[in-house]
Structure 1
Amino acid sequence: RQVLRFYGWFGEPVSDSPLESWRVRRVEVLLYLEDKTVQVTEPPAPNSGIMQGTLVRRHKLPKEGGGFLGLADMAVGQSVKVYGKEVHIVDADAFTREHAAQHGIQLAPAQPCPVSPIEEVLAAKSKPSGAAVPVACPPAAGLSRADPDSPSKFAEALLGREYNSKSLQQFLQHGGEVLRFYVLWDDRQAQFGDRCPTCPALPRPQAEIMEVFEPNSGRTGFPTFLKRGPLPRVAVGGALPGQNRLAADQCYAPGDLRIGATLGVLGRQLYIYDCDDATRKWYTEHLGFAPELLAPIDVSEPAKVLPVPELPPARHGLGIGSPEDTLQNCLRLVPKPPKRDHYRWQTLDTVVLRYEAVLEPAEGRKLINIDRERRFVLSFFMSDQTLSVFEPPQPNTGLPGGKFLERAKVYKPGSKLAWYTEAEMKVGTVLDLHGRRFRLVGADAFTEQFTRERLDGAAAPQ
């Protein structure tokens, strides 16, 4: 009943949240000494909104490279892989430290556990009234009359005084100017992450980010990644009543956007790799950027090399039908008959090429005297590229003659799906038919005429 207890945490990405992009999950790793099993539990946290308790049930936990996790794999300050999750060990209880010391293992001192961004926001909200408010949300009190959000300005506008809006002036001067950059958000290291190309348009001083859908990406509609508005440098929540708008130094400006830079937008890291020609011209004329600073960066990935499926090794007694029939069991769950070339079958159904063949000795071997006198007729059927071998009976040889090889497709030596075709059917060619070598020494008149008119100097019939 001895159990070693380690304290740790792992990071979890959070999507569709304006307050956090990742979360810290604190866990306890229990190692049972009686059978070396491991259990991972998460202590309940108030108002977490997530399912907690047993995350990994008690069993022997496999580790990378083979074997199972044990005491030697768990050290304070290091991390262990638990089914793809990287759990960082930060502390252990007193019994665990004493047991490890008895076995010659000294555990490091306790380390601090990081705090989730949402915990800092909740801690700030739980403070009593009068406490300091985060800098990202300054109070509205103390506004000067020169501030656009001053109540005095609003009251004067109600009485008929002309209001000189700086934002209206910028809209009239630069309303048609749009700086368009092409950026990339690579989130594949996170769970369910992806590589998303986006296109931010910056109608000064606001910005809008639209997602670019690549062909066959599986996404359609709703391309707005970030609606038009100020582009904050730090992630802030929604504005509350009485809060000011973000100051100019808290938002990105055109001078901050350049090719090769990485922008932090609401917890997402966006990499700028290109811009359009109008943007290059504007940066050259107004900010004096050199052309080499505006050169595009290639972010395309190399083409994926699709693996070539390999046929399983042939086993005696399991193959049913021809190799093409057996292959269908490897390609799909419900096998289908292999497709037949009906055009070839209709046009070349009656065409049979016949050759006279003799046995050829294999490498390093000699033919016996009786095999040197044997003659064969090799018939090649053009409709389905099958062949058969027949041995005419000869008197006083002691051989009965007859069918030597049944009609079938004959595969080339060392190949699984490449068989002999009409391209190899020429006088003088040596064919290896299931370990027996045959040399074609002659052909009948029809075969010579068909070969001369249809095969020599022209493509093989399809």
Structure 2
Amino acid sequence: MKRSPRLPCLPGYSINYNVGQTRFHLSNHLQYIHEGVPYFSSKELPGVGGAPLPGQVSPKYPSIYTRGEVAELPAWIVFDKHILKFDAFWLESAAFPEEGNRHFVHKCVVYFYLEDGTVKVVEPKIRNSGLPQGCLVHRQRIQYYRGDGSTNDNYDIIDFNIGKEVVIYGRKFTLVDCDKFTRQFLNRLGIPVPDPIVIPEDPYTKKREKIDGVPEKKRAGKAEAYDSAPKLDNRILGFKAYWDDRENPGGYLHLLNLIYFLSDGTIEVSDVTDPDKHYILVKRMRLPKEYKGLSMPGENDPMTLLNVIGDGKRPNRSIADPLDAGRSSKEFYRDKDITIGAVVNSFGRKFVVYDCDNFTKEYYKVKFGLDDFTPAPRPLTKEEVALTAAKEIGLQIAPYNGFGSYEDSLRNCLTVHPSQIVKSMKQFYEKDRFGYDSKILRFSAIMLSKDPVYHGRKYIISYFLADDTINIHDGETAPNTGVNGGMLISRRQILKPGQDIYSSKTPQYYDYRDLFIGNYLELEGHSFHIVGADEYALHYMETHPNEFPKSNVRQVLDKVRQAVKPIYKEFAAQFLKDSEFRTVPSLQFREAIINVLPDITEQEVLTLARYYRDKSENEKFSLDSIRRYAQDILKKELFDDFQGLREGFLHHDEDRKGFLTKKTAYSVIRGTKLPLDVEMIQVILEKLSVGEECHINYNEFIEFINYKTNPVPPIQPINISSAMSWQNLNRPEPHHTVNSIAIKGFVDDLMLEDSLKNQSA
């Protein structure tokens, strides 16, 4: 039921226009509603004499597509983030029209959002325009206004095209251009898009550009205009200069940073002699070339005032002197006056420019055509002279006396007033513990001692990457052994043996380069032989090969390649069996590498073994064992609806190809409530996936778990959730469990087939 807009919206005032009507269908037909482009539209409701009934609105076009040509999806999904963009303008009448300037032309952008038919209008902001710009109309549905003031409907896609005028809240926007996406989108809908239209010229903008480009005659009271201010705002020229004040008592050489602001020609100078304390020497100002003392009051004013009336009884009156007779002309430093080697006079101080930054070099190269930017020589500061002399003579540091740390003693020698040692926090921030990532490398070692009680005893060496400290604790503490376990060396930096600590030389400490499997260490009188490392340490060293070269597979492989190259034929023959390369035991692989490279370390051999180990040996669950586990669970849960499972697969396989994606197959299995754990389902799908896209043959999956048609022997039950979780399946094996090596990959990476051919020849 509809109502007349002339009647109030109250009960009893609504009119039912369907009284007496027997046919309520709406017929569709083609109607040319956009310059010859046909659309499907609904016929108007019958009215009196062909005119619409009171309250009746014009037809609404249901869709620009015919039914059945597109997917039945809502518009907010199909047209999500699809926006039509049009360039437009609107005219604003001038409040005080001048000659040739009766209106202002406002350029703006109109956005039409296809997902919901909303419209947004934005006028780009122009700096120093003096006009309120930005978002003129926030995103909303806009009603279409007729000439008589009545509303028809909201603006739709057919109302936006180049050359059309859109009235939004009393402002008439003329569309003149669109982007590439908008043009292609409308053309694919059958809507022709005209060529772009030229926006009318704005008289005010043209007048302003004329004034900025060709300055008019200066008038009294008008400040000097800089045409470069809008273009060069926030751009500066950076120079390095010095001021030699050593002739005056207590003076010294000042290192300066001179900054020239391109926007207004001002200069700022800061003293950077002390790297920790900077201060402004000359605040930002226009720097005059000649300094003749302090200016008199009113000398730098933009105009000269003349006192024409004033006798002391009445208020003084003054006018501006149009001749500027009392104004003194001053020249200020510009960008052309400051170059490398130039002397800048700053109120009697002579600043010598000796270098500049890269942006300044490009600026002078483009504007003035300069090519030579060689820094000019400058005198050395007092500190630089002292440092140079100390390097030539050799700085004598008092030897360490044993009190405190070596850094404390060195600090006392460098300054009379020692302060707290400031350590660099970069290493701490990068290598400190973060979550479960401990950043601690742990190695297992055995002690080498003459005492049989401690000889061969296992210890754990922990290296902290955050501060290069080491601690050592007992690795095997058993009761009634007569040996107290616990911490052997607390966490601290450990000096390397054979050093005279009571000297002026910087002591050497153990770091991460000294910790690797197979190395012998002398730690504060205790001898250790590193025999192993935990999985975290090995994985960390392998993922940081630049820091740990003995865990760098490429470097180790290059070393082996150079040693094997002369005897490659004999080396490869020992791994052949039945004319094929197969897996070999890790001990045989180790012996072969050591025979070729006697000086290779255990860490490097282990790196190769971990990289080329046989991946199949680490498979915890075979396909047969997983099948037995799955069928055993289905028997216990009394699941036998395999036909329903097949129907679920067929429902998603419309082409009846017999294959589904892993994601779709997992959804069907979970939807049919197959009584298998999530971990079990994921492992089975991973094993049965075929092809590069990992599709699943659902018939093979059904036969795999169907214990009625394809029964398998039972198996001892396990905890599926924990045993088949991703933590356990993806956890690398410890290094001591590398039993076999996939030797074919190792031989292929050596890339010595050409050498084998030469040796055979």
TM bin, normalised by shorter chain, reads: 0.3 to 0.5
TM-score by length of 2: 0.23
Structure scoring higher RCO (CA < 8 A, sep ≥ 6) equals 1
Q: Which is greater in Rg?
A: 2
